[in-house]
Amino acid sequence: MGEKTRLTAMAAVFIALSLFCWGTSVWSAGQSEGLAWQTVEPGYQTDGTALQQDDSSAQSVEQTGESQANAVDTSVSSEQTSTAAQPLSEQQALALARALAAAGTPFFDDPSQLTVLQLEEAVIWYLMETGRMPAAVDGQVLLPAADVWELAGELFGAQPGEPEDCALAVYDREQDAFSLTAGVCIPASDALLETATEEENRRLYRMQLYPPDGWEGDVLGNEYRPDMTAAAVLLLEDGRFAGWTGG
C-alpha cells in the first residue's frame, strides 16, 4: 500500500505541473495577440507619447507654403515694375521733347494724364525722330501695336491700352498694327534746346517751340527762325521722364 500511494502522489504532482505550464503558454500567447491588434493613433507611439517629428513636419509644410507665397509676390512685383519708365539719355530726352512738340501734346505734370491717342502719337513721332520707323512696303508702314505699347511703357511707364485710330495712323485690327502712309508728316511745332540744368535728382531741359513753317536762310548758310510760339520744359527725375510743362 505504501508504494502505491507514493506513486499516486507523484502522478498528481506531474499532472499539476503540466497544467501550470500549459496555462502559462496560453496566457503569453494572449498577451502577444493583444499587442499585435493594439491601435496606435497617428502622431503617437504605442505608450501614448507624441512623436516629435510631427512638429518638424508641420513647420516644414508651413515654411514651404510661405516660400510659395513669397514666390508669387515676387512674380507679381516683377510684373508690376516691368512697365516702369526707363532712364533716358540726353539724346533720347531731346528726341522725346521734339516728339511731344511735333505731336502737339498738351502740357502735363504727370505722364499718367496722357490719353491713348496722345500716347500713340507721341510714340510714333518719337520713332520718326530717332529713325526707328520700319521700312515702307507698297507705300505703307506697319507698326505692330505691341511694339508701340512696349515703347510707351519704356518712355512713359504706360500700361497697354485699347488701340485707336490717331492723326498719324489707322489701326488695323486684323493685323493688330498701325498703318501709316509713307508720306510727309508736318509737326505741330519744332523744339530747340535752350538750356539743360540739374536740380538734385532732377534734370530740366528748357525748349523753345517754333512753328514748322516760316524758316528762312541765305546763301551764306545763315538761318532765320520764325517767332517762338512757346517755351516748354521736359523734366526727368532719376533719369526717367516725369513731365512736359510750359516754360
User: 26 or 230: which carries more pLDDT confidence?
Assistant: 230
Backbone angles phi, psi at 182, to 5 degrees: -75, 80
User: 217 or 79: which carries more pLDDT confidence?
Assistant: 217
- In this prediction, residue 144 carries a pLDDT of 96
Residue 78 has pLDDT above 50, yes or no: no
Of 43-47, 103-107, 116-120, the least confident: 43-47
User: 242 or 220: which carries more pLDDT confidence?
Assistant: 242
Residue 241 has pLDDT above 80, yes or no: yes
Banded model confidence at residue 223, pLDDT cuts 50, 70, 90: confident
Looking at residue 84, the DSSP 8-state letter turns out to be S
- In this prediction, residue 14 carries a pLDDT of 55
Residue 76 has pLDDT above 50, yes or no: no
Nearest Cα residue to 100 out of 183, 163, 191: 191
Extract the C-alpha cell encoding 20: 501550470
- In this prediction, residue 15 carries a pLDDT of 57
Q: H or E stretch including 65?
A: helix 53-81
Please, which residues have CB within 8 angstroms of residue 193's CB and are 6 or more apart in sequence? 94, 97, 205, 206, 207, 208
Q: Are 178 and 145 in contact (CB under 8 A)?
A: yes
User: 76 or 110: which carries more pLDDT confidence?
Assistant: 110
Residue 61 has pLDDT above 50, yes or no: no
Measured CA to CA, the distance from residue 117 to residue 159 in angstroms comes to: 13
Arithmetic mean of pLDDT over the chain: 79
Measured CA to CA, the distance from residue 244 to residue 56 in angstroms comes to: 59
End-to-end CA distance of the chain: 145
Banded model confidence at residue 219, pLDDT cuts 50, 70, 90: confident
- In this prediction, residue 63 carries a pLDDT of 54
